[in-house]
Structure 1
Amino acid sequence: MTSKSRDWALKLYETLLDQLNDDNNAVTKELFPCGEHHLQRLRAAISSAEISTQLDDSIKVAHEQMFRAYRSSQSNLCWRRLYTDACILRSLSEFSSLENASQAYTPVVRCISRLDQAIIIAGPAGEGRLELILDTIVSMQASIRPPVDATTPSNFFRLSPLVVPSATSSTHIPALPDQPSLTSFVTKYSRTPFILRGFLNDWPARNDHPWSSIQYLRSLAGMGRLVPVEVGQDYRNDDWDQRLMLWDEFLDTLSRQEGNKHSAPVIYLAQHDLFKQFPALRDDLIIPDYVYASPPAPDGYPMYSPPANDDQLVINTWLGPGGTVSPAHTDPFFNIYAQVVGRKTVWLAPPETSPYMYAYSSASDDTSQPHHPAANNTNPALSNTSRVDVFVRLEEIDTQFPHFREHVVPHAMCATLEPGDLLFFPPGWWHAMRSEETSFSVSMWF
């Protein structure tokens, strides 16, 4: 690591320091609600001989306060801002202090991973902060080389479909022979689920930039990237957990898991905006025009309103091995679900079956306890996850959930999505997913 290679980091560090010390700067003003103490502590840390320890303390405090604000339904913007800037400054400080290029790989990866934490945990908050972080990551990656033993187990995911047992449904999700026009989608087809077979076959993700290629997924991210993963097959289970994991390690683990169906624990990247971290990945999609059609609220879900962001669109990715399950639950938005890699079985039931879906009760009001994803802390009246495992035999369900067979099964639908298929279903519909092999999917809420 030469002095010249650190110049850009030092200049950026000084620019951010000047900004942070300017009370009239709009970005700095966003930190004011955190309190004078925390802002001054951050400023003091930057000029302290113990900058690493003090910035680590600021990151820890901001993270704790973000969690408390979320649990109490209060704004956590200032704490997200504090967390973001503390992570950026901490990584720039550590990177700038490196001297020996031959020993730089591990600390540089640590700096990059900390910047990913700012993206994953804090948003990141602040005008232009995401772009700044992504540019900084690219510059840091350019300064290092991977270790000699950083090899990929295989070039492509091994896709070996499991036997698909019958689900607790009475009919198939209809597959339309042709793509509906926007007008017909809004007036007719947006009311009920449907599948468009092969709709994604022209996507770059299915052709020039195949998402089934581990080598491609590794190369577009670069070294040192961090992603959030779920540990365990089903988030209703007591042994389910979440953690952050290096992207390269996740891809290696995923490849090994597909070769060993009984490996444990199952690692799953679920409902994550991977495009925010890897913008080039979004270029591999062709967003369907349907997401911009503004369909009216369906009869069975009159409380519908689109996502509150500027695009009125939320896009998430799902990547995991065969056997991973998303239990039956509801979402408040229209959903277009794109199956890019692998096969996935989908179970659906309409909103009117809700009284017989045996949803989990709302979570406790004790905010000191960790959030259980099967309960709904923010709106207990809309607890949205079912206790019924819809992918087992009905005989296993009848004893514990006696009304499910009579009131849900006659209205439920099921289908297996093949690579390239697109699924649509309206808000309020119960849906469960099970990966039959390594699966990479994209959900689009609108």
Structure 2
Amino acid sequence: MARTGSAEGEGDSPALWAEVRALLPRAEEGLTLALSGEVEDCVLPLLRRARALLYGAAGRPEAAAAAALERLSDVLRDYSWEKLNAGPWREVGKGWRQVYAYGCLFGALAEVAAGRPLSRAVRLCDLGLLMGAAVLDNVLARLVRALQPRLPRAAPRAPDGQRPLPSGRPRGPPPALQPHEAIPHLRCPSLEHFRDNYLLPQRPVVLEGVMDHWPCMKKWSVDYFCQVAGCRTVPVELGARYTDEEWSQQLMTVSDFVSQYIMDEIPELKEDISIPDYCCLGEGEEDDITINAWFGPGGTISPLHQDPQQNFLAQVFGKKYIRLYSPQDSENLYPHESQILHNTSQVDVEDPDLVKFPNFTKAAFQSCILMPGQILFIPVKYWHYVRSLELSFSVSFWWS
């Protein structure tokens, strides 16, 4: 069925096509289709045909060529999507992820060439970034940065028909913080002081004053997210905790998530934060630092678990109750036996079953209420339990 466009956010300007076309190699031969892994023999001819349609015209593909390019994109995405979902994600070959990325790329370009509203092209780019593998020097990220400024700013939709967020048992106030259990606080320590007293001995600490100058501290709110990123597609976790049976993941736009349930692909948000200077004390490069955003309502819980890297958890707005256990207490925390959840404890920290997990009482812990503007240093392999006390946004920096 043919889609019709509206006047707003359309991709029919010659200037836009010229900008988009400049992101691609000049000649057809330059758009290499080398795949990092084996795929079925029928796939490469489809990729070559799509490439030929894209480069067949001197300028912009004609309507018939754009329509054919769209059909090939649908075939490539549908076929590779089955491969992406045929088994465990870690067993999916990179070649099939690249095929999916090419399918998303050709589909997005067909949308722009046809002069349709750009929202679908942006969604295809996001799907390729989330589920595919980088191709052509991460062209999908560069393409979406060119398209997004031309989209209308989204606003939260009316909450009619709003679905409740799945949640576990209601929780009361967090446990009272005892002085001997409190994580120490420190204001803007020097690199040397942090390294010698916290990084090297692997001691948790709450840092204050480090993120006061970040633009996000003044700009970020639910309305702001909808304005700058409402059209972008992101993975959303549904459920109070990932160990619950009803927990699931879903792809939806930021605007849909906000209206129904309440940042690496969204450069406007990434520009509002800074990598803490203390990360330079690690062994890796800045490009090796993983940045994740955690946005959710009060009551959302991250079960007690551990991560394989050092972690700075920066709180932008809202409050979180956090409890930490040393890796030396791992045996008393009863990790799941399955390989998938081996880094997650079976114990409900705030309501433990001491008949089933009697040694849990032997594990010493530290805790804090992480407030806006504070950064918690969580040493590598430290077990941590997190409960959002209200609508909350945090940014984590994983580094080695």
TM-score by structure 2 length? Answer: 0.80
- CA distance in 2 between partners of 1:51 and 1:440 (Å): 40
Change (3 A) 1:341 1:289: same
1:387 aligns with 2:346: yes
Amino acid paired to 1:39: L
Q: Which has the higher contact order (CA 8 A, sep 6+)?
A: 1
Match of 1:216 among 201, 221, 224: 224
| Aligned match of 1:189 | 198
RMSD (CA atoms):
3.3
Residue of structure 2 equivalent to 1:231: 238
Q: 2:167 is matched with which residue?
A: none
Q: CA deviation at 1:110?
A: 2.5
- Who is 1:400 aligned against? 356
Does residue 241 of the first structure (1) align with residue 197 of the second (2)? Answer: no
- Deviations 1:262-311 (Å, cap 9, x if unpaired)? xxxxxxxxxxxx1x22112122113211111127xxxxxxxxxx6xx762
Alignment map for 1:148-227 (pairs within 5 Å): 164-166=173-175, 171-190=180-199, 191-207=202-218, 209=219, 211=220, 213-221=221-229, 224-227=231-234
Amino acid in the other structure paired with 1:327: P
Structure 1 residue corresponding to 2:44, chosen from 39, 47, 51: 39
Q: Any conservation in 1 of the 2:156–2:223 contact (CA below 8 Å)?
A: no
> Structure 1 CA distance, aligned partners of 2:42 and 2:26?
18
SS at match of 1:433: strand
Q: Secondary structure of 1:345's match?
A: strand
Residue 4 of structure 1 and its aligned partner are, at CA, apart by 8.4
Closer, same or farther: CA 245–140 of 1 in aligned 2, 3 Å: same
SS at match of 2:95: helix
CA deviations 1:339-388 (Å, max 9, x no partner) are 1110001011000111121111224xxxxxxxxxxx25xxxxxx101111
Bigger CA drift: 44-53 or 223-232? Answer: 44-53
1:83 to 100, 110, 113: 100
What is aligned with 1:354? 330
Aligned equivalent of 1:300: none
1:284 aligns with 2:281: no
| Alignment map for 1:90-105 (pairs within 5 Å) | 90-98=107-115, 104=117
1:57 aligned partner: 75
Q: Which runs of 5+ in 2 are unaligned?
A: 1-5, 54-64, 160-170
- Give yes or no for contact 1:31–1:82 (8 Å, CA) kept in 2: no
2:331 aligned with 1:321, yes or no? no
Change (3 A) 1:171 1:253: farther
Give the equivalent residue in structure 1 for 2:380: 427
Q: Contact 1:316–1:443 (CA<8 Å) still a contact in 2?
A: yes
Which whole-Å CA distance do the structure 2 matches of 1:219 and 1:175 have between them?
37
Select the residue among 423, 432, 439 that pairs with 2:392.
439
- 1:234-265 alpha-carbon deviations (Å, 9 max, x no partner): 110111100111111112234xx4xxxxxxxx
Q: Percent same amino acid at aligned positions?
A: 29
Distance 1:34 1:249 in 2: 35
> Structure 2 counterpart of 1:65, which letter?
K
Distance 1:32 1:414 in 2: 46
1:132 matched to 2:120? The reply is no
2:189 alignment partner AA: P
- 2:12 is aligned to 5
Distance 1:435 1:72, change over 3 A: closer
Conserved? CA contact 2:238–2:249, under 8 Å:
yes
Give the count of matched residue pairs: 366
